[in-house]
Amino acid sequence: MEFYRSHVLVCGGTGCTSSGANKIVKVFEEELLKHGLNKEVQVVKTGCFGLCALGPIIIVYPEGSFYSLVQLEDVPEIVEEHLLKGRIVKRLLYAETIAEDNTIRSLNEVDFYKKQLRIVLRNCGVIDPENIDEYIALDGYKALGKVLTEMTREEVIDEIKRSGLRGRGGGGFPTGLKWQFTYNSQGDQKYVACNADEGDPGAFMDRSVLEGDPHALIEAMAIGGYAVGANKGFVYVRAEYPIAVKRLEIAIDQAREYGLLGENIFETGFDFDIEIRLGAGAFVCGEETALITSIEGNRGEPRPRPPFPAVKGLFGKPTVLNNVETYASIPQIILNGADWFASIGTEKSKGTKVFAVGGKINNTGLVEVPMGTTLREVIYEIGGGIPDGKKFKAAQTGGPSGGCIPNELIDTPIDFDSLTAIGSMMGSGGLIVMDEDNCMVDIAKFFLEFTVEESCGKCPPCRIGTKRMLEILDRITEGKGEAKDIQKLESLAETIKSAALCGLGQTAPNPVLSTLRYFRHEYEAHVNEKRCPAGTCKSLLQIVIDEVGCRGCTLCTKHCPVNAISGERKQMHIIDQEKCIKCGVCIDKCPFKAIVKR
């Protein structure tokens, strides 16, 4: 084995790859070769470091220098200064990592990482996901070895039950019980399936695990297969995640090569193999019965339960179906014990939860916190607060099935039950932050548009009901709302909730109900006063130039895309309301802040 004195870890998650990480790796290798350092310094493309807002990110070890927003041009400098001459390139360091005495702080002392506890993400950003040896070096496949050689199937299920692990896909159903039900079902053939059809907009937790630590999933599915008595697994993953699919394919091949998938694993007589199935762009396929129907090659329409998949799942056989993050917790539970896992989190929600934090927040990225951490801690301490000095308005969790949590409730601990109690839900882990410029009626409409488009059409409450709700929201945001519309929305929402066939339909009204609950005044302003308090809804908006502030600099006229602004130099300018498309470019460009929404 080669010995390297330095390691350059380049984040290869989707975020950093999108901003050029692959090219950076290439230039690093070229530069190292040029300086004859290629035998001394190893470049490793890892999974996501989590701090996507600062990508592309590079960490150089052993120093632990965290370089952020690295551009291609910076690479020769890092190689020459840091790797050749041993001088850290200070100007590229993430400012938070520089201590007062000018030394480098460990990442665990940085606000973004300090409050995090990385169990699911422990290998993301640490190992090369395309190299099984690196996973094995960090106790990989040890849990599988342990269950196959030391534990009975019943003991495995009992361990998972005692850990208190609940489904991370959104439902929160106890994982151990699910395994028990599948174990109890009679069948000549059983299946283990993984839901990697991460469809919630703004959620990328599962993708990051697949991209950063694919072997954790493979190992956990094999453990699940042993426990419930299945020898075949399916991973249903979004076709929109090409990097994740590729790394998972590589990982499966490597596991087969090492005999960790296939026949007679660890020479215990246990056979297990995994097949990948690609989704094809249907949100409803994240619902378990729809997912199963889709793997079978059909239109991904849900069916009524019972029978539950544990009794009658894939190809009519008993199937245990969990999501990626749930699986990724399992090897650690086996290795460290159920008591260890159960000691983390709250009474009814154990362990950690990964959130994809996005929207109007400084540190967009991926965070993993113990259950029970408050929203405030995630948004302000880890997330670094709201950019541009704006005011926090709401946090949206649970995607199209969840709700908006207002400022008053920002101290709510994040766990399954607390979030449900305030009208939102844990969901799969998307957490979108909104500020004062976001209109809550518009956000509700945004989610309804999503569900209307993604409704599979099988049951009328969802197919027709959500459409009617959207029509009402369209009216309201266009200033045509009527007094009764709010009641109509509420009554439709309750009907859909109680009558729709599957989880997608039953939860579709949540974004409307939760915004009505906490931001009713915004709906009322739209309906009664024909006014959008956030200044988002275009039909209810006028953009005007303030007489006092305007200096006649003509900057706005130059940027207006529709030539709606007129006025002589040094004279006050006027916006032609007929022509104005309310794009707001002029507001951003005016150096005197003289253009306002009304």
Partner 1 sequence: MSQCCASELNQEAKDKIYEIIAAHKDKPGLLIPILHEVQEFYGYLPFEVQKLIAEELNIPLADIYGVVTFYSRFSLTPVGKYKVGVCMGTACYVKGSDKVLEEFKKQLGLEVGETSEDGMFSLEATRCIGACGLAPVITVNEDVYGKLFAEDVKDIVEKYK
Residues that bind partner 1 (CB under 8 A): 14-15, 17-19, 52-53, 55, 198-204, 207, 239-241, 277-283, 294-301, 315, 356, 358-360, 364-365, 396, 399, 430, 432, 434, 438, 443, 446-447, 456, 559, 561, 583-585
Please give the C-alpha separations between residue 247 and each of 49, 143, 219, 451, 510, in angstroms, as whole numbers: 17, 21, 15, 31, 35
Residue 477: CB minimum distance to partner 1, A: 12
Cβ neighbourhood burial of 89 (10 Å; 0-12, 13-18, 19+): middle
- Closer CB to partner 1, residue 279 or residue 370? 279
Contact 148, 272 (CB under 8 A): no
- Closer CB to partner 1, residue 4 or residue 446? 446
Residue 101: CB minimum distance to partner 1, A: 31
Residue 484: CB minimum distance to partner 1, A: 29
- Closer CB to partner 1, residue 93 or residue 278? 278
Contact residues for 291 (Cβ-Cβ < 8 A; gap 6+)? 193, 195, 197, 236, 285, 300, 321
Residue 365: CB minimum distance to partner 1, A: 6
Residue 160: CB minimum distance to partner 1, A: 28
Torsion over CA of 501, 505, 506 and 509, rounded to 10 degrees? Answer: -160
Residue 281: CB minimum distance to partner 1, A: 4
- Closer CB to partner 1, residue 162 or residue 256? 256
3-state secondary structure of 65: strand
Task: State the DSSP H helix or E strand holding residue 61, giving kind and residue range, or none if neither.
Answer: strand 58-61
Residue 359: CB minimum distance to partner 1, A: 5
Match 């990697």 to its residue by tokens.
Answer: 196
Token duo for residue 582: 């309310």
Cβ neighbourhood burial of 532 (10 Å; 0-12, 13-18, 19+): buried
- Closer CB to partner 1, residue 201 or residue 337? 201
Separation of alpha carbons 146 and 162, rounded Å = 17
- Closer CB to partner 1, residue 226 or residue 355? 355
Sort residue 246 into left (φ over 0), alpha (ψ -120 to 50) or beta.
Answer: alpha
Residue 433: CB minimum distance to partner 1, A: 8
Contact 331, 220 (CB under 8 A): yes
- Closer CB to partner 1, residue 66 or residue 204? 204
Contact 164, 351 (CB under 8 A): yes
- Closer CB to partner 1, residue 240 or residue 478? 240
